[in-house]
Amino acid sequence: MPERPPIEFVVAPSEAGERLDHLVATQACSSRSAARRVIDAGQVRVNGRLAKKGLAVRAGDRITVAEPPPDAEALRPLPEPLQPLVVLHADDLLIALDKPPGVPIHPLQPGERGTLAGALVARFPECRLVGDDPREAGFLHRLDIDTSGVVLAARTQEAWTMLRSAFREGRVTKEYLALCAGRVDGEAVIDAPLAHDPCDHRRVIGVADPALARRLDARAATTRLRALDGSDEMTLLAVTIATGRMHQIRAHLAHAGHALVGDALYGGPPALPDAPGHFLHAVRIVCPHPSGGEVAITAPLPVARAVALARLGLTYSSVARPVSIRR
């Protein structure tokens, strides 16, 4: 698909005060998340200077977008009936899937195949029109490509709106299994704002200095750790987060000097044999159900990762009930 030509426009008086990412998305007929990505990649300038996605623009500002994001509709996932799909739970409003490692949640380029979204809309076609980003296919949150485990999607726009609010308000608890470098004992809390790394747009970094955090537009994030088993070389952790910042667990562990095994982007040690990618598994999620009450869903550790842990002599307790709904 041909690249879109650069965009250049001047902020009108009626647009003064809008966020830069919102205005770029509007002008490019794209999604706000796609606009944020091109801003973070240094493709957007305001009056000739690089700017942050949260900048409040002023009337008369000249904005140039060197590589505009794809048209939003072109990113809507195509049904892929042959793509595997493991459904942990499905009712009229909510779907829980077991994402394998190495599979992206949704497309980043028009026509991209091999995504979980493509498999989802093939089986649940109503999801294709749910969400505020055409590529979302009803998904309520994301997992990095190498992360495995529970991921949720809504089947109606009303359920999606309600659950997205629950995520934003911290009413959703996500639990992970993480294998990190070095020894970690007992329990710990990592409370460090996260900001995009100014030297590498692919990464985020923990920022301890308050002044630097403000300058980099860092966002609050808290990660709770509990050591399950380990050695001097590596430790298996139970990790809990209520926020869901980009790369939160990966960046926080690296910030603490215990990067994930297999996480080359954050300086982690090499991946385990036969278990490629960074070792992170979303084992359990607890959230409000759109019809009332609470739902808790768990996903088993992928076989290759379970075997890799067994070879290291590391153990963990699995959860007996994969789905629990309390009204």
Instruction: Determine the pLDDT at residue 263.
Output: 96
**Residue 221 and residue 271 share a domain:** yes
pLDDT tens digit string along 140-149?
A: 999 999 999 9
Inter-residue contact 283 to 304 (CB < 8 Å): no
Q: For 286-305, write each residue's pLDDT tens digit.
A: 999 999 999 999 999 999 99
Number of domains in the chain: 3
Q: Are residues 29 and 132 in the same domain?
A: no
Q: Write out the two tokens for 47.
A: 């009056």
Please determine, for residue 150, whether its predicted confidence score (pLDDT) is greater than 90.
Answer: yes
Query: Please, which pLDDT band fits residue 163 given cuts at 50, 70 and 90?
Result: very high
Its pTM stands at: 0.81
In a domain, 196, yes or no: yes
Q: Which of 102, 136, 169 is the last residue of a domain?
A: 169
Handedness of CA 115, 121, 127, 133 (dihedral sign): positive
Q: Which residue has the higher pLDDT, 215 or 177?
A: 177
Of 142, 169, 196, the one marking the end of a domain is: 169
Residue 102 pLDDT more than 60?
A: yes
- Judged against a pLDDT cut of 90, whether residue 274 lies above it is answered with no
Average pLDDT, the chain: 89
Cα gap 86→119, rounded to integer Å? 10
Based on the residue annotation, tell me whether 229 is a catalytic residue of this protein.
no
CA distance 18 to 12: 10
Confidence label for 318 from pLDDT (cuts 50, 70 and 90): low
Question: Which of 23, 42, 73 delimits the end of a domain?
Answer: 73
Tell me: pLDDT of 70 over 90. Answer: no
| Residue 321: per-residue pLDDT | 54
Confidence of residue 208 (pLDDT cuts 50, 70, 90): confident
Q: Which CATH number characterizes residue 102's domain? A: 3.30.2350.10
Which of 98, 144, 146, 263 is catalytic? The answer is 144
317 and 181 assigned to the same domain: yes
Is residue 87 located within the same domain as residue 68? Answer: no
Tell whether 213 is covered by a domain. Answer: yes
Task: Average the pLDDT over each of 238-247, 262-271, 290-299 and give the range with the smallest value.
Answer: 238-247
Burial class (CB in 10 A: 0-12, 13-18, 19+), 184: buried
The answer to whether residue 108 is domain-embedded is: yes
Does residue 56 have a pLDDT over 70? Answer: yes
Based on the fold, state whether residues 89 and 184 are members of the same structural domain: no
Residues paired with 124 in a beta bridge: none
187 shares a domain with 305: yes
pLDDT per position as a tens digit, 16-40: 999 999 899 888 877 777 788 888 8
The domain containing residue 45 runs over which residues?
7-73
Q: Do residue 38 and residue 85 come from a single domain?
A: no
Q: Looking at residue 320, what is its pLDDT?
A: 45
